[in-house]
């Protein structure tokens, strides 16, 4: 059971779903900026939805919910293992960036509720930090994929 | 002499319905405020401020409730005194673009230049944040023209603010929303998500000029900021103060809506803005249904409609509930998986991952 728990997040199905979720989040997240229409990407047949802000907003929220579920699934497995695998350096970097994305993302969701006021400077900082974290995560993920780096070492 | 903070706050904010310390209401419109009344209220407000809350809290309205404006469109004669007052008061906030404008790529990105048409007053522009919309309607069988002051609706949960990718749009606790011209890049997302397409863009001004003017951004977005600076100083928005007919009043949202309902009941009229887009802070009362006004008026770019509007942020905020459930589901799925694995460890080992020792990548 300990071994199963520790490797819950390492099944190929989990990895594929995780990667798909991150791609959906990245695309729908960048679609929150007015760039896809300006640069004709939304003109490509089948991609017109990229210029629909409310739709991409909903997709981003759905992706965020899925990501939270996947993270909870993997972390529960990791915490339940008697012999917990240790994060590699690359895994630790990605974990920190992912944690930052989750925290800033959740704060942005809270901000969007009616009657929630956040100081304007905080909102600017939060938006910029969320964007910076996702850019850093993309770089870290590419670096890990090219270098075939693992998230964890097996005990 | 200090009076109760409720009365003072309401007067400071230019309320249409003043609530005194003992809970007694005193109705007034701006045009009917006497100088003595206004000065007395202002002094009381200043006194209460010093003692109780401070200017910022007072501008937020009593108990943090948003402030709303009530527009009784029966009273508007279309004199445009409000339009002129708005331009005079807010002129220093208008764009001063640098010409020639940078060439923008790709070619589909068009210049939005209103700097040579600053005198346009029959629609919203970066230089005109309030205009009088005319609607031809039929009242008691007679064709009548209604005049309707139109500007930002100042939504209770404004999509322009909540969906701005930079945080250039902000909402203040008193319910007004406004744009920061030092941060806005002029991408017009706010204009696209606004159900009334109120924000208007001016090219050649703002932060984008210092970044990548040819490749990103296109100026700054402008709209009514409900005279946030005047409100913060305890003054009325210019359009309200200047109106000779007392068309507009401002006060706590709950009081303004109650007053709108009272008038609507009295005249058999209709209300617009209380429910639209989940609720706004600009409430119109009309003697005719708003679909009739909508049909009888010219609307399009810079000329907002008066059609029903569903709450644009509602679906997203409902989905946010899924973000609470999702981690719980993840934990539950993990525990369920581990319990199944414990019951049939060998079968699970074989099924879970052909090569678990490789660890996880991506």
ipTM of the complex: 0.88
Q: What is the mean pLDDT of residues A46-67?
A: 95
Residues 6+ apart with CB under 8 A from B340: B348
A17: closest chain B residue by CA: B362
Q: Are residues A26 and A100 in the same domain?
A: no
Query: What percentage of chain B carries pLDDT values higher than 90?
Result: 65
Contact B69, B281 (CB under 8 A): yes
The answer to whether the Cβ–Cβ distance between A62 and B317 falls below 8 Å is no
The answer to whether the Cβ–Cβ distance between B167 and A123 falls below 8 Å is yes
A141: closest chain B residue by CA: B362
B357 touching A (Cβ < 8 Å): yes
B103 touching A (Cβ < 8 Å): no
CA B281 to mean position of chain CA atoms: 7
Strand B67-72 versus strand B282-286 pairing type: parallel
What backbone phi and psi angles, to 5 degrees, belong to A36?
A: -70, -35
pLDDT beyond 60 at B10: no
Q: Are residues A62 and A107 in the same domain?
A: no
Instruction: Place B62 in a pLDDT band, splitting at 50, 70 and 90.
Output: low
Structure confidence by residue, pLDDT tens digits, B153-170: 999 999 999 999 999 999
Q: Are residues A18 and A62 in the same domain?
A: yes
Structure confidence by residue, pLDDT tens digits, B71-127: 999 999 999 999 999 999 999 999 999 899 999 888 888 899 999 999 999 999 999
pLDDT at B54: 37
Instruction: Place B265 in a pLDDT band, splitting at 50, 70 and 90.
Output: very high
Domain closes at, from A59, A84, A109? A84
CA of A135 to nearest chain B CA: how many angstroms apart? 15
- Tallying the residues shown for chain A, one arrives at 155
Q: Are residues A80 and A110 in the same domain?
A: no
pLDDT beyond 70 at B59: no
Q: Are residues A65 and A95 in the same domain?
A: no
Q: What is the mean pLDDT of residues B175-199?
A: 96
B217 touching A (Cβ < 8 Å): no
Q: What is the mean pLDDT of residues A34-55?
A: 93
CA distances from B188 to A43, A110, B218, B277 (A): 18, 24, 8, 19
H or E element that contains B12: helix B5-12
pLDDT at B14: 37
Contact B83, B194 (CB under 8 A): no
pLDDT at A8: 60
Q: Are residues A95 and A75 in the same domain?
A: no
CA of A112 to nearest chain B CA: how many angstroms apart? 5
Domain closes at, from A84, A115, A138? A84
Q: Are residues A97 and A62 in the same domain?
A: no
H or E element that contains B192: helix B189-193
Instruction: Residue A28: give the domain boundaries.
Output: 1-84
Q: Are residues A44 and A63 in the same domain?
A: yes
pLDDT beyond 50 at A9: yes
CA distances from B175 to A66, B156, B171, B265 (A): 33, 6, 6, 26
DSSP one-letter code for A117: -
Residues 6+ apart with CB under 8 A from B283: B68, B69, B70, B71, B256, B257, B260, B271, B272, B273, B274
Please enumerate, as own/partner, the contacts of B346-354 that have beta carbons within 8 Å and a separation of 24 or more: B348/A4, B349/A3, B349/A4, B352/A4, B352/A7, B352/A11, B353/A7, B353/A10, B353/A11, B353/A12
CA of A45 to nearest chain B CA: how many angstroms apart? 18
Query: What percentage of chain A carries pLDDT values higher than 90?
Result: 68
| Structural domains counted in chain A | 2
pLDDT at B321: 84
Domain closes at, from A65, A84, A103? A84
C-alpha–C-alpha distance, residues A60 and B44, integer Å: 49
Q: Are residues A37 and A56 in the same domain?
A: yes
Q: Which domains, and CATH codes, for chain B?
A: 1-63 (no CATH), 65-316 (3.30.70.20)
Q: Are residues A114 and A155 in the same domain?
A: yes
| Residue numbers in B near A104 (CB within 8 A) | none
Residues 6+ apart with CB under 8 A from B295: none
User: What DSSP assignment string belongs to B41-77?
Assistant: HHHHHHHHIIIII-HHHHHT-GGGPPEEEEEETTS--
A144: closest chain B residue by CA: B362
| Window 50-69 of A, Cβ < 8 Å to B | 53-54, 57-58, 61-62, 64-66, 68-69
| Residue numbers in B near A126 (CB within 8 A) | 167
The answer to whether the Cβ–Cβ distance between A109 and B320 falls below 8 Å is yes
The per-type count for chain B, helices as H runs and strands as E runs, is: 12, 12
Question: Taking Cα atoms as reference points, which of B252, B251, B205 lies closest to residue B102?
Answer: B205
| Residue numbers in B near A70 (CB within 8 A) | 330
Q: Comparing A83-97, B55-69, B244-258, which segment has the lowest mean pLDDT?
A: B55-69
Q: Could you give the maximum distance between any two Cα atoms of chain B, in Å?
A: 89
Q: Are residues A94 and A20 in the same domain?
A: no
CA distances from B127 to B131, B155, B201, B202, B304 (A): 11, 21, 10, 9, 16
pLDDT beyond 80 at B298: yes
Rg of chain B (C-alpha set): 26
CA of A23 to nearest chain B CA: how many angstroms apart? 12
Q: Are residues A93 and A109 in the same domain?
A: yes
pLDDT beyond 60 at A25: yes
More confident residue, A6 or A88: A88
**Tokens standing for B326?**
């999702």
Contact B160, B194 (CB under 8 A): yes
| Window 138-177 of B, Cβ < 8 Å to A | 156-157, 162-163, 165-168, 170-173
Structure confidence by residue, pLDDT tens digits, A73-132: 998 888 887 667 788 999 999 999 999 999 999 999 999 999 898 899 999 999 999 999
pLDDT beyond 70 at A31: yes
CA of B199 to nearest chain A CA: how many angstroms apart? 15
């Amino acid at each position: 059971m300990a071994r199963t728990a520790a490797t819950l997040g390492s099944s190929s199905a989990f990895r594929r779903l995780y990667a798909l979720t991150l791609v959906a989040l990245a695309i729908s997240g960048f679609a929150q900026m007015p760039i896809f229409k300006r640069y004709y990407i939304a003109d490509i047949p089948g991609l017109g939805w990229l210029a629909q802000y409310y739709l991409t907003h909903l997709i981003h929220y759905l992706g965020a919910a899925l990501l939270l579920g996947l993270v909870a699934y993997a972390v529960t497995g990791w915490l339940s293992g008697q012999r917990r695998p240790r994060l590699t350096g690359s895994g630790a970097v990605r974990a920190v960036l992912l944690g930052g994305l989750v925290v800033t993302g959740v704060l942005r969701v809270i901000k969007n509720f009616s009657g929630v006021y956040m100081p304007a400077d905080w909102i600017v900082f939060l938006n910029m930090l969320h964007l910076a974290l996702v850019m850093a995560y993309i770089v870290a993920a590419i670096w890990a994929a090219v270098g075939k780096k693992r998230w964890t070492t097996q005990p | 002499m200090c009076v109760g903070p409720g009365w003072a706050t309401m007067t400071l904010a230019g309320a249409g319905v003043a609530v005194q310390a003992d809970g007694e209401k005193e109705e007034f419109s701006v045009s009917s405020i006497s100088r003595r009344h206004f000065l007395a209220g202002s002094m009381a407000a200043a006194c209460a401020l010093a003692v109780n809350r401070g200017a910022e809290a007072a501008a937020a309205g009593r108990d943090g409730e948003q402030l709303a404006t009530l527009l009784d469109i029966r009273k508007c004669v279309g004199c445009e005194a409000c339009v002129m007052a708005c331009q005079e008061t807010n002129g220093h906030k208008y764009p001063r673009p640098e010409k020639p404008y940078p060439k923008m790529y790709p070619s589909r990105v068009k210049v939005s230049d209103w700097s040579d048409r600053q005198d346009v007053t029959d629609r919203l522009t970066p230089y005109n944040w309030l205009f009088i919309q005319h609607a031809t309607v039929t009242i008691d069988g007679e064709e009548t023209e209604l005049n309707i002051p139109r500007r930002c609706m100042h939504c209770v949960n404004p999509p322009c603010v909540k969906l701005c990718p930079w945080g250039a749009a902000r909402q203040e606790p008193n319910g007004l929303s406004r744009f920061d011209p030092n941060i806005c890049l002029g991408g017009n997302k706010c204009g696209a998500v606004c159900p009334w397409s109120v924000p208007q863009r001016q090219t050649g001004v703002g932060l984008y000029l210092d970044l990548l003017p040819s490749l990103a951004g296109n100026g700054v977005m402008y709209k009514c900021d409900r005279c946030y600076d005047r409100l913060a100083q305890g003054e009325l928005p210019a359009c309200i103060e200047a109106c000779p007919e007392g068309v507009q009043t401002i006060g706590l949202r709950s009081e303004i809506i109650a007053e709108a309902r009272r008038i609507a009941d009295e005249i058999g009229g209709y209300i617009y803005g209380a429910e639209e887009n989940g609720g706004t802070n600009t409430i119109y009362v009309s003697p005719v249904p708003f679909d009739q006004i909508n049909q009888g008026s010219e609307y399009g770019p810079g000329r907002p409609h008066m059609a029903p509007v569903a709450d644009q942020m509602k679906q997203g905020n409902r989905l946010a509930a899924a973000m609470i459930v999702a981690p719980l589901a993840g934990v539950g799925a993990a525990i369920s998986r581990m319990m199944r694995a414990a019951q049939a460890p060998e079968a699970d080992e074989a099924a879970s991952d052909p090569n678990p020792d490789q660890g996880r990548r991506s």
